[in-house]
Amino acid sequence: MPPHCDSMDGPVVNAARGALETEDVNLILPYVQESSAAELMAAFKKVMEARSSGPEARSVADLYFYETAVRLHRAGEGAPYTGVKPAGLDVGPVIPVAEKAIETDSPEALIRLLADTLQDEVQHRFERVRNLRDHSPSDIAKARRYVEATLGFLVYSHRLYQAIKAAPHEGDSKHHHD
């Protein structure tokens, strides 16, 4: 997945911000593994105390809490923590449409985007195989390009199928992003 969960406008920081604003740690706890909950709750307690020391302390404390939440979230994914990224990063075409699907309770636009992208990619790769198919047995260079395109098409198809049939979150949050 493109950088998102570790950005200032991503879901983890938004949940952490909501937890601080409402003084309810439960809003951020679902974003970390149970084994990290105590560390996050301890950070939350410290931050809530520090926030009352003035605007500068509040700003520093909030950033500390966002960084802690993202670090613990990433650890739960088995991914390295590389800091909190700025807001506004390009997350590609799918994430905004997937987020909108959740907001509107309708996956139709996401299904269309994915289906259209899949159709275009499969068609393009298939045409490459088709265009390389007719070659003289003595044209080894073209035969190699055909074999490469054919095997690439088969592997691409297989990996797509695996991604489509993956269990929830398999290959998502454990192996993907940021």
Instruction: Answer whether residue 158 shows pLDDT above 80.
Output: yes
Tens of pLDDT, residues 56-84: 999 999 999 999 999 999 999 888 899 99
pTM value? 0.72
Name residues whose C-beta falls within 8 Å of residue 122's C-beta, 6 or more positions apart in sequence.
157
In which region does residue 105 sit, left (phi positive, over 0), alpha (psi from -120 to 50) or beta (all else)? left
